[in-house]
Structure 1
């Protein structure tokens, strides 16, 4: 009798393991992953990259063309800000350095507008040691590093530091400011991540005047070092200098606002520009699990399955299949043998 009960326990144990395995395979959720059986993820054609996304359409619509020269986007007082509530935008990690002009031409109340713009920008970012790190370089005739990328990893501390920044007055040494940012803030010692970490290095320059030094060579050196440069011109800003500083394509990296009073309208534009696309949410055709990878995605299989050569579909591991079959056969054989023995013993 004990042998028969033991056989029944064996089979019940096997069935329990099968149910648990099925639960593991089809249940649970991993952060930053999308399961293919989720009803909210429509299948689409598999794409290794979402580079064809055009996050600057509104910039292109706002451009003016003079002859064959494409002018940067201009933002006026009555222009509506962009609502990104319905987009698949998520903050991606950056090493971000603001380079701000506080020369004599920037009046005190205008400089306060710049600080509000920076604080609004911080609000759109995910700030942290493993997320976006922010530094500020303040310049006029001299250059002052207000704080480094390694200084603040929380929004309250970062925004409080922004509020304490004071203007320097005097001249406009933009080239020197770019050089200082490149050599003293975008370094590992100052908190910048290593190149192999795949963290974008971004500089946003805000100025309203003409540089009193050369910017072309130093900006080219910074870009060659992997720093993506955005140039924001205000009011009397020299557009030629902005184009010499900015990364390509210029229509995506050069911005112009009429006054400091409307500079906050750039916040939503930069949020759209600097965000990472949630590629899985846009649609995928992974058999099991979609994993975001910056602006693209990769497919992953559940436990006990292997990703096929097409990098989309999954096949159950042969060893696990044969192991399950052998275990079940062995269990049923053992139960049958014990039932026979029990009948004979009676």
Structure 2
């Protein structure tokens, strides 16, 4: 009994970094998930991606003075699914993720990066002064347009980039897009069914970035 009480006390002061437990940092952060909705994914795999997105988001304390989450979906033309200030509670945010529709189209990642910078990191979209800015790119393929210049613009704006590649992605391209070091910013899985394997690692590294 005493050992169990000690274990619970340690959990209180040193929270375990696993999905499902909220981040203990009080820092403000803006996280935009840039989701590939191209035809190569398919509806069943898009459902797996949606579940993955929900698992990552569920690990954070959501609110207007905590972590804010936006989602943009892209293919040939990117679109805003919701802005940083669209949902102020975790429940409404999780409900929106569950309803996220599948877009379809080509894979223009460079265009999507430009769109995200222009449309999501501004005061009208909910950006707070001084908040840490993060983009998490999730894609299953190589971009059909240039990513070098858009990536540079995003990084110059002070945005930290994480990249998750699935199945037919180009690891070299994802390393070019992501922030350094690649070991904590680039994730690669062979299939959509394996996305759950990286949830803990991704959420821990996102937490660490926010705390810093």
Common fold, TM-score beyond 0.5? Answer: yes
TM range (shorter): 0.7 to 0.9
Instruction: Return the alpha-carbon distance in structure 2 between the equivalents of residues 97 and 191 of structure 1.
Output: 11
Of residues 175, 182, 185 in structure 2, which corresponds to 1:253? 185
RMSD between aligned residues: 1.9
| 1:200-219, Cα deviation, whole Å (9 max, x unpaired) | 10000000111011001101
Which of 154, 157, 171 is 1:239 aligned to? 171
Alignment-derived partner of residue 53 in structure 2? 118
Are 1:93 and 1:126, in contact at CA under 8 Å, matched by a contact in 2? no
Residue 207 of structure 2 corresponds to residue 275 of structure 1 = yes
Deviation, 1:168, is 1.4
Q: Which runs of 4+ in 1 moved over 4 A?
A: none
- TM superposition score normalised by structure 1: 0.53
> How many pairs are equivalent?
193
Q: Cα deviations across residues 14-50 of structure 1 (Å, max 9, x unaligned)?
A: xxxxxxxxxxxxxxxxxxxxxxxxxx9xxxxxxxxxx
Query: 1:241: how far off?
Result: 1.3
Query: Tell me, what secondary structure is at the counterpart of 1:127?
Result: coil
Give 1:137's aligned residue.
72
Within 1, Cα distance between the matches of 2:47 and 2:104?
A: 14
Q: In the aligned structure 2, how far is the partner of 1:261 from the partner of 1:160?
A: 22
Shift of 1:275: 1.7
Is 1:201 aligned to 2:133, yes or no? yes
Structure 2 counterpart of 1:172, from 107, 128, 145: 107
Q: Which runs of 5+ in 2 are unaligned?
A: 1-9, 11-15
Within a 5 Å distance, the mapping from 1:1-346 to structure 2 comes to 84=17, 90-91=24-25, 92-194=27-129, 197=130, 199-276=131-208, 294-295=211-212
Query: 1:90 offset after TM fit, Å?
Result: 2.2
For 1:147 and 1:275, the matched residues in 2 are separated by 22
What is the CA-CA distance between 1:243 and the residue it aligns to? 1.4
Cα gap change, 1:116/1:178 in structure 2, threshold over 3 Å: closer, same or farther?
same
Which is higher, the Rg of structure 1 or of structure 2? 1
Q: Secondary structure at the match of 2:24?
A: strand
Separation in 2, partners of 1:274, 1:239: 20
Alpha-carbon shift at residue 93 of structure 1 (Å)? 2.7
Deviation at 1:112, TM superposition (A): 0.4
TM-score for the superposition, normalised by structure 2: 0.86
How far apart, CA to CA, are the structure 2 residues paired with 1:220 and 1:243? 13
In structure 2, do the counterparts of structure 1 residues 107 and 90 end up closer, same or farther at CA, with 3 Å as the change threshold? Answer: same
Where does the alignment leave 5 or more consecutive residues of structure 1 unmatched? 1-39, 41-82, 278-293, 296-346
